[in-house]
Amino acid sequence: MTGATIGDVGWTSEYLQSTPGVWSMSVSDEDRRLLWADASARRWDAGGAAHAAVRGFIRSSLDAVGFVNVRNLMSPAASEAELSSALTYVLAEVGTPVPQNARGDLWTVLRDRDGDGATALGFHCDTCDLLCLLCLQPAADGGGVTKLASARHVQDIIERERPDVLELLRQDWTFDRTGRAGEQIVVSPILFTQDDGTVGCYYQTRTVRSSAELDPRRLGALDFLDEVLYRPEIAFGLHLEAGDLLMIRNSRVLHGRSPYVDEPGPAARRVLRAWMAER
């Protein structure tokens, strides 16, 4: 792990593999049942202790490494509407759903559309505080793995190898998001220091490259950033099973997705997604 403390997110894949208790917890079948019953009734009763444990772990993991994985949190057999409602209640003290598209949807189900799952999804940051993903059905071929990268670790590499590039990435960049949810034009550094001293990030390669004419130095800086992100040792791959929750703090962790080959019908990959404003 790079960086001085666990409170910063300078982790490597090796560090995460050796310390799963920092970022991943499993919910027992009984606690899952109690959580569901209380969330459906809209009051914390028998599942209150389980809820407090899950809520506390989510907060500590988000602070420590910028993401959290809670396994077996919800039964994927429930309807999408029921799951959206229950998750909103379970996570209410962590974050509040905000519109994630031009239609104003708070929860959407990600599915393969016209074979787009066969293409890897590059590293990026969504335009919200927290990205919430609940796996309903993993890809049948084992693909569709979420890839995570530490902003601090990426910055450390660039600072060591190309400080001139880091200087450029710390300047303001324009991201043209016209027609998308949230801010239409975002002006932000790609790598920056946040108020709490941690390294922050904001990156979307398509919207920044299409925003304006970029001079050769800035294009070169983006190219080098992408080259670092796609080094084999950078990405931590996380495979989600049905019922598993993943939450990512977008200002500290970049994410992407490996390609997959989908199957029609009930075996098709489906992931329930929300954007959240952190409380």
In this structure, are residues 54 and 35 in contact, taking their beta carbons and an 8 Å threshold?
yes
Q: What is the pLDDT of residue 8?
A: 64
The 8-class DSSP code of residue 267 comes to G
Residue 9 pLDDT grade (very low, low, confident, very high; cuts 50, 70, 90): low
Compute the average pLDDT of residues 163-189: 91
Residues 6+ apart with CB under 8 A from 222: 205, 208, 209, 214
Query: Residues near 43 by Cβ (< 8 Å), separated by ≥ 6?
Result: none
**Angle at CA of residue 120, ends 116 and 124, nearest 5°:** 110
Residues linked to residue 108 through DSSP beta bridges, in sequence order: 273
Segment 53-91, tens digit of pLDDT: 999 999 999 999 999 999 999 999 999 999 999 999 999
**Mean pLDDT confidence for 89-99:** 97
Whether the CB-CB separation of 224 and 55 falls below 8 Å is answered with no
Strand pairing of 67-71 and 24-26?
Answer: parallel
Question: For the chain, where are the E strands, in sequence order?
Answer: 24-26, 67-71, 95-98, 107-111, 121-124, 130-137, 146-150, 172-176, 185-189, 191-193, 199-201, 236-238, 245-249, 253-257, 270-278
Task: Summarize pLDDT for 218-230 with one digit per residue, the tens.
Answer: 999 999 999 999 9
- Please indicate, yes or no, whether the overall pTM of this predicted structure exceeds 0.85: yes
% residues pLDDT > 90 (the chain): 84
pLDDT tens-digit map of 105-148 = 999 999 998 888 889 999 999 999 999 999 999 999 999 999 99
Q: Which residue has the tokens 């505080």?
A: 129
The pLDDT of residue 278 is above 60: yes
pLDDT of residue 5: 40
Q: What is the mean pLDDT of the chain?
A: 93
Averaged over 157-174, what is the pLDDT?
97
- pLDDT > 70 fraction of the chain, expressed in percent and rounded: 97
3 has a pLDDT exceeding 70: no
* Token pair belonging to 137: 């059905």
d(CA 257, CA 251): 18
Predicted confidence (pLDDT) per residue in 232-249, tens digit: 889 999 999 999 999 999
Residue pair 108/100 in contact by the 8 Å Cβ criterion: yes
- Mean per-residue pLDDT, 253-274: 93
Mean pLDDT of 167-192: 91
Contact 3, 198 (CB under 8 A): no
